[in-house]
Structure 1
Amino acid sequence: MPPGPSPQVTPARPHPDRPPVPGRAAAALAVAAPALGVYAAVRIVGLVVFWAAASAAGKDALHLLSERWDSVWYQRVAENGYGYTVTLPDGGVHSDLAFFPLLPALERGLAEVTPLGLAGAGLLVAWAAGLLAAWGIFSVGARLYGRRTGVVLAALWGAYPTAFVQSMAYTETLFTALAAWSLYAVLTRRWIVAGVLCALAGLTRPSAAALIAALAITSAVTLVRECRAGASDGMVRRHRRMLLGVVVAPLGWLAYVVFVAVREGRPFAYFDVQAQWGNSIDGGAALASFILGLPWPGMLGLCTALAALGRLVFLCVRQRQPLPVLVYAIAVVVISLIGSGYFGSRPRLMMPAFPLLLPPAVALLRLRSTARSAAVLAVTAVASAAYGAWTLLGSGPP
């Protein structure tokens, strides 16, 4: 390969071996196109099934997707800023400070420059972020196990049991997009990019703590290994970009926690707000209590599901996934299970842990038949769509 141009060349002239940024982005998009197409097809199946079910029930499908549950809280923040509270009959208080600011900021910005209202802007952000998340998920899967695995991984994420949330004005797709691309940046040694994306994720959801942990643990292990190998001389200089990325990573999450603390005049005000919503950390006591309070068939089914989840985590470890990917997935699962919040939200909280789907994606490709793999994905997509319609139309908790 010929050497690049000398430093005296006009800066506007691109490196002969490195295409311009738009060209690289277009090439990367072309590579990811099959994954994006399959993901979009899976989500379209979900939307069509839901739309048909909502029409049959005489309900407004668009309203259910854009103005329900947490979506309303985000749009209220986008419209009026923070300060809204609801006092419950038992005297408890639910404050909008429990909701992180990036999605409301994007909703407000889009509503200002487009004809869309806040509800439409929320859907546009969620759907666009879903495609970006699928692209990032594909990129991680393709880098680790090949392009076909990346395509299947994106499709499986689109057919996740609570994937209907990916089509709602919620933060899951936005957070997953930022997390997937941050992990991809770590895998490709772009630590500053990874840190910036992690900081943005920290302005999106509290579960960004899992991503922060993944970056911090990976960098710590890297430094410890070099020290043990006797390569400590100049270590900080060699890894200055990595260390800078790790320092930047928690700034978004910390900034919002400090904002709530200053606003409320209490150093731990954010955690108090979450506790009022029932989202404190109890080490899994609420989950155990919920399981023990179920009739035995429900208890057996839920224990089976948790065992399957544990099996997936074990397979991820046995698969020898890279440290940042593995730490991120396990941390998301742990955070989702050790809180005291409403049990029905926990599958949704675990949805960003897309590396859990890598073992099933690899297993599907071992069928050695495209038709069989496609059939499995089709059945999974239809089942996910039916479950999403059943849940969104009020037939039961997720």
Structure 2
Amino acid sequence: MTDLETRAIPARSGALRRAAPALLGYAAVRALGLLVLALWSAARDKSAYTLLTARWDSLWYQRVAERGYGYEVRLPNGDVHSDLAFFPLLPWLERLGAAVSPLSHAGAGFVVSLLASLAAAWGIFAVADHVYGRRAGVCAVLLWAVLPVGIVQSMAYSESLFTALAAWSLYAVLTGRWVTAGVLALLSGLTRPVGLAVVAAVWAAGVVSYGRHRSAVDEHGARAAPRALGMILAPLGAAGYVLWVGHRTGKGPLGYLDVQAGWRNGFDGGWAFARFVAEKFTSFPSALAGLGLIAGVALVAWLYAVCVRQRQPLPLLVYAGIVTALALCASSYFGSKPRLLLPAFPLLLPLARALAGLRTSRSALVAAGVAVASAVYGAVWLNGSGPP
């Protein structure tokens, strides 16, 4: 345990009981979202299950699970979409699920996401409870559940799996469990490229901890060796996959960047996104969308500034900052940015603290109203343009 700890760690036997209200609330919100999606899809002669498991990125993950890597699509404009862009942990779990059960790879991916979303909700609660208390923890989970694109948490995508690994890794850092933090960071690095944010959080906390406790044993009796081991383990997942892609493509350590370039993904500091927003002001109807995008970015920036002002623990600030920067400053498909921000749950903690300060009846009413709006939005969105 380290100086990062601010509250006592609940006994293991009582941890689930303590998180139960958050998990039950989360399950209720997600059940509502799935019910509304099923009804909305049925009214349009579409399959909600297909929308959740067999469209967009889900198909790429399933192909990797079924056949391994090596598939690519060459577009008329010369772009090459390679399955090497998709990190392997979710396909591995889909393959395992299909091998040990009667589920298809799509079904296994759906089950993985459902279970991972619950694990993510528990991890978010654990982090928020540890820093701000139980009531804020429950509110943080509910806010994450009712995000406008929260339906993605129930899709056969990697967002829920990644958020679960990231949240529990951050909790392990906050409670001084360095080896656990490193292993979970390693796994997050096998899930999504933004796993680097988890690695950076572990390293930032480790470096600060070393600076404050130069002796072999810190004030809590934790030896320096586990901390060093956790820091060594953390980057191995992301580094291992990136190096493997470079070897497979024959383009060296930076081969993965070429794969992403084939999808027109890259980091340009937000220039492409800024141009995209500016183009919205060429006509009146689209100008409203442009104003909405500017307001959304301003809200995200304001929330991060509040996180800094409220002196969130360093690992949370590092993690949320990198996730946010990669989401907003990448040149990828702009409609995916809200989905890419899903793992940045520390941004919700200021709102969770504010919601926790309300009367229980009032906060429950607010959460219920937003949950209904989120469920309707998710159903309309997934039946429309949906997440790329």
Task: Using structure 2 for the length normalisation, give the TM-score.
Answer: 0.92
Contact 2:339 2:387 in 1 (8 A): no
Residue by residue over 1:354-373, the C-alpha shift from the partner in whole angstroms, topping out at 9 and shown as x without a partner, is 11110111101212x11110
Cα distance in 2 for partners of 1:29, 1:216 equals 29
Q: 2:188 aligns with which of 190, 196, 201?
A: 201
- 1:292 aligned partner, one-letter code: A
What is the correspondence of 1:214-363 to structure 2 with a 5 Å cutoff?
214-226=201-213, 232=214, 234=216, 238-267=223-252, 268-295=254-281, 296-363=287-354
Residue equivalent to 1:382: 372
Aligned equivalents of 1:81, 1:270: Cα separation in 2: 17
Give the aligned residue type for 1:68.
R
Q: Which amino acid aligns with 1:326?
A: L
- Report the counterpart of residue 74 of structure 1 in structure 2: 61
Q: Aligned match of 1:132 in 119, 125, 147? A: 119
Aligned mates of 1:336, 1:196 — CA distance in 2: 24
Q: 2:107 matched to 1:96?
A: no
CA distance in 2, matches of 1:73, 1:397: 14
Residue 341 of structure 2 aligns with an amino acid whose one-letter code is M
Aligned residue for 1:293, secondary structure, equals helix
Displacement of 1:25 in angstroms is 4.7
- Which amino acid is 1:255 matched to? G
**1:283 alignment partner, SS class:** coil
Cα shift at 1:215: 1.0
Gapped runs of 5+ residues in structure 2? 1-9, 282-286
Q: Hey, what's the Cα distance between the residues in 2 that align with 1:41 and 1:172?
A: 19
Q: 2:42 aligns to what?
A: 55
- Tell me if the contact between 2:327 and 2:341 (Cα under 8 Å) persists in the aligned partners: yes
Letter in 1 for 2:379: A
Question: Which range moved further: 378-387 or 124-133?
Answer: 378-387
Query: Cα offset for 1:24?
Result: 5.9
In the aligned structure 1, how far is the partner of 2:112 from the partner of 2:387? 25
Q: Which residue of structure 2 aligns with residue 42 of structure 1?
A: 29
How far, CA to CA, are the matches of 2:12 and 2:116 in structure 1?
Answer: 17
Following superposition, the deviation at residue 233 of structure 1 comes to: 5.0
- Larger Cα-atom Rg: 1
1:122 aligned to which of 90, 109, 112: 109
**Partners of 2:23 and 2:216 in 1: how far apart?**
43
CA distance in 1, matches of 2:228, 2:89: 25
The letter for the 2-side match of 1:196 is V
2:130 corresponds to which of 126, 140, 143? 143
270 and 38 in structure 1: CA distance in 2 versus 1, 3 angstrom threshold? same
Count residues with an aligned counterpart. Answer: 370
- In 2: Cα distance, 1:278 partner to 1:348 partner: 17
Quote the Cα distance in structure 2 between the aligned partners of 1:318 and 1:286.
30
In structure 2, distance between residues paired with 1:92 and 1:37: 45
What is the CA deviation profile of residues 157-195 of structure 1, one whole-angstrom value per residue up to 9, with x for unaligned ones? 111111110010000000000000000000110000000
Q: Which amino acid aligns with 2:251?
A: R
Alpha-carbon deviation of 1:303? 1.1
The CA deviation string for residues 315-351 of structure 1, in whole angstroms up to 9 with x for no partner, is: 1111111110111111110111111101111111111
Question: Which amino acid is the alignment partner of residue 61 of structure 2?
Answer: Y
Distance 2:215 2:228 in 1: 16
Residue of structure 1 in register with 2:172 after alignment: 185
Change (3 A) 1:30 1:397: closer
Cα deviation, residue 109, structure 1: 0.5
Structure 2 residue 362 is matched with structure 1 residue 372: yes
Aligned 8 A contact 2:56 2:387 in 1:
no
Q: Which amino acid aligns with 2:32?
A: V
CA-CA distance at 1:244 after TM superposition: 1.2
CA distance in 2 between partners of 1:238 and 1:57 (Å): 60
Return closer, same or farther for 1:124/1:25 CA change in 2, 3 Å cut-off.
farther
Q: Contact 2:123–2:164 (CA<8 Å) still a contact in 1?
A: yes
Q: Alpha-carbon deviations, 1:226-276, whole Å to 9, x = none?
A: 4xxxxx454799422111101100000011001101111111111100111
Q: Which residue of 1 aligns with 2:146?
A: 159
What RMSD over aligned residues (CA atoms) do the two structures have, in Å? 1.7
Question: Counterpart of 2:309 in structure 1: which amino acid?
Answer: R
Moved more, 189-198 or 301-310: 301-310
Check the 8 A contact 2:173/2:205 in 1, yes or no: no
Q: Percent identity?
A: 55
More deviation in 139-148 or 122-131? Answer: 139-148
In structure 2, C-alpha distance between the alignment counterparts of 1:389 and 1:263, rounded to whole Å:
40
Distance 2:11 2:321 in 1: 32
- Aligned partner of 1:382: which letter? V
